[in-house]
Chain A
Amino acid sequence: MKKKYSWLLALSLVLSMFLAACSGNKETADDDKKPAEDAPKVEQTLHFINGDTIPSMDPGMVTDEYGIQFTAAIMEGLYRLDEKGQPTEGIATKHEVSEDGKTWTFTLREDAKWENGDPVTANDFVFAWRRAVDPNQGSEYGPYMMGGVIKNANAVNKGEVPVDQLGVKADGDYKLVVELENPTPYFESLTTFPTFFPLNEKFVTEKGDTYATSADTLLSNGPFKFSNWTSTAQQWELVKNPTYWDAKTVKLEKMTYVVVKEAQTAVDLYEKGEVDRAGLSSDLVDQYSTHDDYTVEPDNSVFYIKMNQTRNPALKNVNVRNAIARAFDKQALVDEILNNGSIVANGLVPKDFVPTPDGKDFREVSGDLMKFDKAEAKKYWDKALAELGTDTVEIEFLGGDNEVSKMMNQYLANQLSTNLPGLKVTLKEVPFEQRLELDTAMDYDMQFAGWGPDFLDPYTFMNLWLTGGGNNQMGYSNPEYDKLINETATTLALDPEKRFDNFLKAEKILFEDAAIAPVYQRAGALLVSPKVQGVFTNQFGATYEYKWASVGAEE
């Protein structure tokens, strides 16, 4: 009896596995009604891939590439970057700067509206900016972007003064008065960054903790809005926002996004025509570099070797640093290892990032300050060895631990020890977080590091190497450099010509001292469909600007 019973159970177990398998398929088969890939092509719709989910859509809280990208698509600050990367009309139509450069008065347009019909007013900015530095809010970019720029931002963040002491006031509904800590010539470009976007106080307060966690708890005042999105969504759509003040300029009706992390998969989807743009990893570049749709998109991140002067005595010697900075072939590195359109860097400020006051590219004017030159490197090296009174020097090289980083580390170590006889390089490869910790503790000799700009001004790169600067962390100090750079933020702040002269001079000093060894400026290789028109690549902040985008005649 018992035996029979258990046999039945075993049978039903096997059977239920079959049944479950069938029902499992049936369940999903119901979703077949609208296969995504066969949807009829709608005019003015673009399909894109995103490298990850959007972790946050709260403009005051965003820190990552995607949060910045999408808040900039659905919202608008005082200004917006145009095709040339210059600030153009946004919620503000114009501004006046006081004599001392410290008070900026923005005139806001009166026809700008939130999605719910409320007008966008100066108070929305005041609310948002106070919130960004409020210690109770816990924003990272708030204190980072506003600290030292807007009056009292640091004091408010530390809780020393109440938030209403922040240097931003509404003068009526359509005038915003901003008081700055110092004259800040690049402030205009800062206002295009999400941290400086306005927020509708009533809406944000009402939604509380659920604010910006889904399409329903977001309020758009920009060219687009979400039609469906939740914070963990892997697919979402942006549609044109009809209530945007400049909706007549926006041609694109819809953008769809799917999260794809694997480069090969992205390219396969591109080849199938399911998406209009796909990034290429370096192993795919050779295969696709002859493709009609192959393009290289510049990026303004610059990578370099930091040389810590406080740990290894050899690196305190300027000739050692000069030798190292010249002793590796950068061209081979970008061509063979990176292979993604990245270019050699022979200075600090990236190429095509900021123009000088007379309209030339800063990099071009400043020129190649630190090039690969084996013979020159050897000369410095021999001199250095004589000064140090030794014929062998051992130096640790701290680098990243992902695949490409490892190849780069090995390549650089090999170049250095080959081109500088007697130099022994030991590699230390660690994850990013750990590298930052070692950087903060200044517990390294040489370090492979990089920096991306936070606003449109050479200052974002040049202030890294001020004596005692939070990101210096390598014991570099040159009073002349400090003086030149500090002047650009104080006495010369309102004199663009002299200011840029200072930057140019300072950059020269930096490389005479061989403080860092520039390696490369990053770029990304992509396949972009010719039907994608009018999408601009920004110099900082949101990667892409879609306001002026459209679907071209192709297809």
Chain B
Amino acid sequence: MTRYLLRRVWYMLITLFIIATFSFFLMKILPGSPLQAEDKLSEEQKAIILEKYGLNEPIPVQYAKYLGGLVKGDLGVSFKFDNTPVTTILIDRIGPSALLGFQALVVGSILGIILGLLASIFRNSPIDFSSTIIAVIGTSIPSFVFAGLLQYVFAVKLGWFPVALWGTSAHTILPTIALAIHPMATAARFTRTEMVEVLHSNYIITARAKGVSETGIILKHGLRNALIPLITVLGPMAVGLMTGSMVIEQIFAIPGIGEQFVTSVMVNDYPTIMGTTLLFAFGFIVIILIIDLLYGLIDPRIRLAGGK
């Protein structure tokens, strides 16, 4: 197990290195420069400023310097926010995004599981059909449409929740719902499909024959096995929430990292772009690792290679 973990961590580092390299060079292809008054300065004036920021050096040199900083945990200083280290920006912004993403994931997957479970138990009933319809709507309509709708109905018209901004837990409710709809739909679909399949498998028949109660069959034998595929999609879902909250953050004027990421790309704030990319990548890799580990715990049939 330890050896497995160590190997995984090593692979993670290599992946991060590759991502850092790729995004560094991709970023250099972005048109324009980090200068903000680009249309007003003369070529000579531009050159003086680029030199100050070390942007006149050959790209391989810049790359080496960047990697050097990275090893020391230094993500550099933002070009847009004068004198503000990228780490400060990331720390400032990750909180609201993480909270929203987490709430949405929890709310979405729990509601989705319940919905899927009901649909599978009452198969081909009105409950099943409405659950399917909800799932289809949830997957096909983008979350920002829901966001606008929720904002209009529950904040502007009914006045139950704040229109936008950040601060109290009441502020998190509408964005959380808007974000949760997609994970909910996904979870509902997966749970239903898996449950239907599991409930037909031999061990369920055995359990029935042994006289296990229906609740016991569904919750203990059925749901547990049906959840495994759900765990697989939970990871990408979590990452999707991390990045996908961008538009939601903008609509509800939430000081999150997604919104910050878009802005930094628009103004060519290289250090911030790199920092945010690496943070997302890191989050993704860690989530994948956690999921792989969870597999073994949830389903004893899945065993790690070389594990005992």
- A interface residues with partner B (beta carbon < 8 Å): 2-3, 6-7, 9-10, 13, 17-18, 20-21, 24-25, 28-29, 31-32, 35-37, 52-53, 55-56, 58, 61, 63-64, 135-141, 143-144, 147, 157-159, 209-213, 230-235, 258-262, 264-265, 268-269, 271-272, 274, 431-434, 436-437, 439-440, 454, 470-471
CB <8 Å contact, A138 and B52: yes
With A28-B168, A143-B41, A209-B83 as known contacts, state yes or no: A268 contacts B263, CB within 8 Å. no
Q: Which of B10-18, B20-28, B204-212, B292-300 contacts A (4 or more CB under 8 A)?
A: B292-300
CB <8 Å contact, A265 and B253: yes
Residues of B within 8 A of A24 (CB): 99, 102-103, 106
With A144-B40, A260-B253 as known contacts, state yes or no: A28 contacts B172, CB within 8 Å. yes
A418 to B109 CA separation, bound complex (whole angstroms): 56
CB <8 Å contact, B106 and A20: yes
- Interface members, chain B 136-150 (any A CB < 8 Å): 148
A157 to B80 CA separation, bound complex (whole angstroms): 22
CB <8 Å contact, A433 and B163: no
Residues of B within 8 A of A10 (CB): 224, 227, 297-298
Q: Does B42 lie at the interface of the complex (its beta carbon under 8 Å from any beta carbon of A)?
A: yes
Residues of A within 8 A of B52 (CB): 135-138
B16-50 interface bits toward A, Cβ cutoff 8 Å, 1 = contact, 0 = none: 00000000000000111101111111111100110
CB <8 Å contact, B93 and A454: no
Residues of A within 8 A of B103 (CB): 21, 24-25
- Chain A: which residue is nearest B166 at the CB level? A234
CB <8 Å contact, A433 and B31: yes
A6 to B298 CA separation, bound complex (whole angstroms): 6
A140-B40, A268-B155 given. 17 additional CB < 8 A pairs? A6-B300, A24-B102, A37-B162, A138-B53, A140-B41, A143-B41, A143-B48, A147-B42, A157-B45, A157-B48, A232-B84, A232-B260, A262-B250, A262-B251, A265-B253, A272-B163, A433-B268
Q: Does B286 lie at the interface of the complex (its beta carbon under 8 Å from any beta carbon of A)?
A: no
A64 to B82 CA separation, bound complex (whole angstroms): 12
With A2-B300, A63-B37, A64-B36 as known contacts, state yes or no: A231 contacts B252, CB within 8 Å. no
Residues of A within 8 A of B35 (CB): 140
User: What is the CB-to-nearest-CB distance from A443 to chain B, in angstroms, rounded to a whole number?
Assistant: 13
5 contacts across the A-B interface (CB closer than 8 A): A232-B92, A433-B268, A436-B38, A437-B31, A439-B39
> Which of B31, B33, B148, B263 sits near A264, CB closer than 8 Å?
B148
> Which of A9, A63, A212 sits near B83, CB closer than 8 Å?
A212
A260 to B253 CA separation, bound complex (whole angstroms): 5
CB <8 Å contact, B252 and A265: yes
User: What is the CB-to-nearest-CB distance from B199 to chain A, in angstroms, rounded to a whole number?
Assistant: 18
With A210-B83, A232-B88 as known contacts, state yes or no: A258 contacts B38, CB within 8 Å. no
User: What is the CB-to-nearest-CB distance from B18 to chain A, in angstroms, rounded to a whole number?
Assistant: 27
- Interface members, chain B 88-117 (any A CB < 8 Å): 88-89, 92-93, 99, 102-103, 106-107, 109-110
